[in-house]
Chain A
């Protein structure tokens, strides 16, 4: 059976929090175009916001001269968003699911975004090659895969 060709869309943007809104609009529109319902499109948009916020704050230390690459791939069964940076990487697998009570007591705030990404998307994959290219790939299937 012939498979429909995937469509890809790219956005390259300065790593500044004021651009999060542009990223969200870009991703939201493409999620709707892919056929996701409004509620799910909102969840995808939030997951991408979290990934980009991590890049801005942690990979680039709020250096707005650095760039974030966002590539969105739409095909018949999914939307896949790859967020790339060339900053310093980190090891998300080492982050446990946040213990909120301990968080509150220590007034720490990190780690919530990664937990949200994992909760909202079907697949979240990190690949790190610090200062060369780090990527986070977020995937949402139109029909959730069964194990």
Chain B
């Protein structure tokens, strides 16, 4: 079975969600819940590291869109890092690079958050 996993690590004010496996309409609730938990804790600076994500469908992309407005209103952001070419293509087809900060790696995302403080 191809699964999906999500782990979280907090680096000072920034929370990093690390997604792995297959993000589709079946697994998307877990990603949504993880973001919801961050908002409940008033953590709005979020990096989503996709280094180990093998697959994403529009169900997964919809979650980024569903949360970004609220997070930016609170002064935060979702920065997305370490996209494989396959995953990047899906983001690109839907025009995400114009709306989201897509970073080469997690460190770049963290640096951007830190330099913006």
Chain B residues within an 8 Å CB radius of A50: 57-58
Which 4 pairs between the two chains have the least Cβ-Cβ distance?
A109-B62, A17-B26, A112-B58, A113-B58
Complex Cα distance A5/B12, Å? 63
Q: In the complex the two chains form, is B25's CB within 8 Å of A53's CB?
A: yes
Does A120 have its Cβ within 8 Å of any Cβ on chain B?
yes
Chain B residues within an 8 Å CB radius of A42: 86
Q: Which residue of B lies closest to A118 (CB)?
A: B93
Q: In the complex the two chains form, is A104's CB within 8 Å of B65's CB?
A: yes
Q: In the complex the two chains form, is A100's CB within 8 Å of B62's CB?
A: no
How many Å from the CB of B92 to the closest CB on chain A? 10
Q: In the complex the two chains form, is B90's CB within 8 Å of A116's CB?
A: yes
Does B5 have its Cβ within 8 Å of any Cβ on chain A?
no
Does A145 have its Cβ within 8 Å of any Cβ on chain B?
no
Does B75 have its Cβ within 8 Å of any Cβ on chain A?
no
In chain A, positions 1-20 with a C-beta closer than 8 Å to chain B are: 17-18, 20
Chain A residues within 8 Å of B, Cβ to Cβ: 17-18, 20-21, 24, 39, 42, 46, 49-50, 53, 56-57, 98, 100-101, 103-105, 107-109, 112-113, 115-116, 119-120
Q: In the complex the two chains form, is B57's CB within 8 Å of A100's CB?
A: no
How many Å from the CB of A2 to the closest CB on chain B? 38
Does B39 have its Cβ within 8 Å of any Cβ on chain A?
no
Given contacts A21-B2, A100-B65, A107-B66, contact A116 B94 (CB under 8 A): yes
Does B38 have its Cβ within 8 Å of any Cβ on chain A?
no
Complex Cα distance A100/B64, Å? 12
Q: In the complex the two chains form, is A109's CB within 8 Å of B65's CB?
A: yes
Chain A residues within an 8 Å CB radius of B99: 100-101, 104
Q: In the complex the two chains form, is B62's CB within 8 Å of A57's CB?
A: no
Complex Cα distance A14/B112, Å? 45
Query: Could you give, for residues 17-47 of chain B, a 1 whenever the CB lies within 8 Å of some chain A CB and a 0 otherwise?
Result: 0000010111000000000000000000000
Does B116 have its Cβ within 8 Å of any Cβ on chain A?
no
Complex Cα distance A98/B65, Å? 12
Chain A residues within an 8 Å CB radius of B93: 115-116, 119-120
